[in-house]
A and B are shown apart, each in its own frame.
Chain A
Amino acid sequence: MAFDLETVRKEFPILAREIDGKPLIYLDSGNTSQKPRRVIDAMTEFLENSYAPINRSSYRLAGEATDAYEGARRAVARLINASSTDEVVFTKNATESMNLIARSWGGANLGEGDAVVLTHLEHHANIVPWQMLRDERGIEIRWVPLTADGQLDLSDLDRILDGAKLFSFTAMSNVLGTLPPVAQLCAAAHDAGALAVVDACQYVPHNATDVQAWGADLVAFSSHKMCGPSGIGMLWGRMELLDAMPPFLGGGNMIDTVTLDGYTTAPVPAKFEAGTPAITEAVGLRAAVEFLEDLGMDDIRQHEIDLTRYALDTLNDRFGDDITIFGPDDTAVRGGVLSFAFRDLHPHDVSQILDERNVCVRAGHHCAKPLMQVLGVQSTTRASFYLYNGTDDVDALADALDSATDIFGF
Chain B
Amino acid sequence: MSGLEDLYREIILDHYRTPRNRGELESPPAVESRGHNPLCGDEITLYLLVDGDGDDAVVSDVKISGQGCSISQSSASMMTQAVIGKSVGEARAMIRRFRSMMGIEGIESQPGDDDIDLGDLEALQGVVKFPVRIKCAVLGWTTLADALDRA
Contact = CB atoms under 8 A, between A and B. Distances in A.
A192 interface: no
Interface of A: 346-349, 352-353, 356, 363-365, 369, 372, 378-379, 407-409
A365 B41 contact: yes
A409 B5 CA distance: 13
Contact of B4 (A346, A353, A372): A353
Contacts of B41: 364-365, 369, 372, 378-379
A356 B68 contact: no
Given A346-B68, A407-B8, A408-B13, A352 B133 contact: yes
Contacts of A369: 41
21 contacts: A346-B67, A346-B70, A348-B69, A348-B70, A348-B136, A352-B4, A352-B7, A352-B130, A353-B4, A356-B3, A356-B4, A363-B40, A364-B39, A364-B41, A365-B40, A378-B41, A379-B41, A379-B42, A407-B8, A408-B13, A409-B13
B107 interface: no
B132 to A, nearest CB: 8
Interface residues on B, range: 20 to 34
Contact of A407 (B4, B40, B67, B68): B4
B48 interface: no
A349 B133 CA distance: 10
A378 B72 CA distance: 14
A372 B42 CA distance: 12
A364 B70 CA distance: 14
Nearest to A406: B1
B59 interface: no
B79 interface: no
A369 B67 CA distance: 15
Contacts of A379: 40-42
B11 to A, nearest CB: 14
A356 to B, nearest CB: 5
Contacts of B136: 348
B151 to A, nearest CB: 28
B43 A378 contact: yes
B71 interface: yes
Contacts of A346: 67-70, 73
B83 to A, nearest CB: 24
A13 B42 CA distance: 36
Contacts of A408: 8, 13, 70
* In the A-B complex, the 3 residue pairs with the closest CB atoms: A346-B69, A348-B69, A365-B41
B124 to A, nearest CB: 14
B133 A378 contact: no
Contacts of A348: 40, 42, 69-71, 133, 136
B1 A347 contact: no
Interface in B36-69: 39-43, 67-69
Contacts of B68: 346
A35 to B, nearest CB: 23
A377 to B, nearest CB: 9
